[in-house]
A and B are shown apart, each in its own frame.
Chain A
């Protein structure tokens, strides 16, 4: 049994789903033999569920505190303005943080047309974290292929390439119809893109609307709750 896996970062990243693909196999093989890691994974998974949900105890800590500037001299007000602006930027960065949804290609047959080839190349770029190339290639494919799958990964690639506004449009397209397998993920990532585009209110409205419509993805309500109310 190798002790290289006995690292709390590894367990936490495994539970959070962010452990790199190169480490996944090795860690899971190790799990079959290591009772301590299995116990930590189960504890972490339970903690993750509870931490993802809005908790009355945790909520106040998540709310942005509004600095009180009454009676403060102009110089101090300027300092506070910088502070608030920085804090908002940090908040936007925090709320807009995403873990790119994984894509593992399992080719069934070679692509038979140019659009399928474009999608394949785009997804290869996506899997290699080359989001600029992925956005370009998938954008060309999307001109012909209107599937939710292409719109979803194109939206995520655009967002990770820093094009939040365009990402919103593609991800919203991927939310329709509501029965498509990408709808829930697309709603979540569209909200992330809206936050990145400094439209947190719209993000919250989108999430709450999806919850009202019966979306069963717990992330949506939790994310809506973590966005400060206007």
Chain B
């Protein structure tokens, strides 16, 4: 886990409180997504961790209160909660900065903290094994945020060909990282696959 591992809040055990099947498994999956969302929106590891913990605490309260009837409702409810929790944290931050409401939200790499130094190093090594063209393509996609269609038009290449190149580059990257043991255990099963 790249952020601090999720722990049941208030020291409680999920098995003692759950009222839905697979609740702890589902929450474990959702926490992974909550981390990403909170990190991007807050740009701060500690705040993101607090947001995830608070969201899970509120989610469990709702489960205990019987407000969530099925497993399928967990993610949408968690989504609604985390947005409120993040808004609360941002409001508190504004109060600390004397009411400023316009601090740039496009801070450099708000997702950077999702990646450990060790993992970043392994990715760097893996990237060096890709061709310069593939690195440039990944850079234009993941750093500059350019769409494949636009890059393809500029290079005069079919977009589908570039999509496949990008997909292959990502697959190679994932494979190299997996071989070097950089990925987390449950993530080593499959390389990312491009989907239309």
Residues of A in contact with B (beta carbons under 8 Å apart): 3, 6-9, 12-19, 28-29, 31-36, 38-53, 55, 57-58, 61, 97, 99-108, 123, 149, 152-153, 181-182, 184-185, 188, 217-219
CA of A101 to CA of B110, assembled, Å: 13
CA of A106 to CA of B89, assembled, Å: 13
The reply to whether A149 and B142 contact each other, CB–CB distance below 8 Å, is: no
The reply to whether B29 and A35 contact each other, CB–CB distance below 8 Å, is: yes
A228 nearest CB across to chain B (Å): 16
Does B163 make an interface contact (CB < 8 A)?
yes
CA of A29 to CA of B82, assembled, Å: 10
Q: Which residue of A lies closest to B114 (CB)?
A: A45
Does B30 make an interface contact (CB < 8 A)?
yes
Sample of 5 further A-B pairs with CB below 8 A, known A8-B195, A55-B128? A15-B111, A36-B192, A46-B123, A153-B102, A184-B108
The reply to whether B142 and A61 contact each other, CB–CB distance below 8 Å, is: no
CA of A15 to CA of B101, assembled, Å: 24
A6 nearest CB across to chain B (Å): 4
Give the residues in chain A near B2, CB-CB below 8 Å. 42
Interface pick from B4-12, B13-21, B32-40, B62-70: B32-40
With most chain A CB atoms within 10 A of its CB, the pick from B2, B36, B110, B196 is: B36
The reply to whether B195 and A7 contact each other, CB–CB distance below 8 Å, is: yes
The reply to whether B103 and A7 contact each other, CB–CB distance below 8 Å, is: no
Give the residues in chain B near A184, CB-CB below 8 Å. 108
Give the residues in chain B near A53, CB-CB below 8 Å. 124
The reply to whether B37 and A42 contact each other, CB–CB distance below 8 Å, is: no
The reply to whether A61 and B136 contact each other, CB–CB distance below 8 Å, is: yes
CA of A42 to CA of B128, assembled, Å: 19
CA of A34 to CA of B110, assembled, Å: 20
The reply to whether A44 and B33 contact each other, CB–CB distance below 8 Å, is: no
Partner among B29, B79, B144, B192 whose Cβ is within 8 Å of the Cβ of A43: B192
CA of A36 to CA of B189, assembled, Å: 11
A175 nearest CB across to chain B (Å): 14
Give the residues in chain B near A188, CB-CB below 8 Å. 108
Partner among A40, A50, A100 whose Cβ is within 8 Å of the Cβ of B127: A50
| Given A42-B115, A49-B112; A108-B99 close (CB under 8 Å) | yes
The reply to whether A61 and B132 contact each other, CB–CB distance below 8 Å, is: yes
CA of A13 to CA of B148, assembled, Å: 10
B112 nearest CB across to chain A (Å): 6
Indicate with 1 or 0, residue by residue over B114-146, a CB within 8 angstroms of chain A CB atoms.
110001100110011000100110110111110
Partner among A36, A43, A185, A218 whose Cβ is within 8 Å of the Cβ of B173: A43
Q: Which residue of B lies closest to A41 (CB)?
A: B36
| Given A41-B36, A47-B127, A99-B145; A181-B103 close (CB under 8 Å) | yes
Give the residues in chain A near B173, CB-CB below 8 Å. 43, 47
B45 nearest CB across to chain A (Å): 13
CA of A8 to CA of B162, assembled, Å: 11
Give the residues in chain B near A105, CB-CB below 8 Å. 101-102
The reply to whether A8 and B145 contact each other, CB–CB distance below 8 Å, is: no
Partner among A43, A51, A100, A182 whose Cβ is within 8 Å of the Cβ of B139: A51
Indicate with 1 or 0, residue by residue over B84-124, a CB within 8 angstroms of chain A CB atoms.
00000011001001011111111111111011000110011
The reply to whether B101 and A107 contact each other, CB–CB distance below 8 Å, is: yes
Q: Which residue of B lies closest to A153 (CB)?
A: B102
A8 nearest CB across to chain B (Å): 5
Partner among B75, B79, B114, B143 whose Cβ is within 8 Å of the Cβ of A42: B114
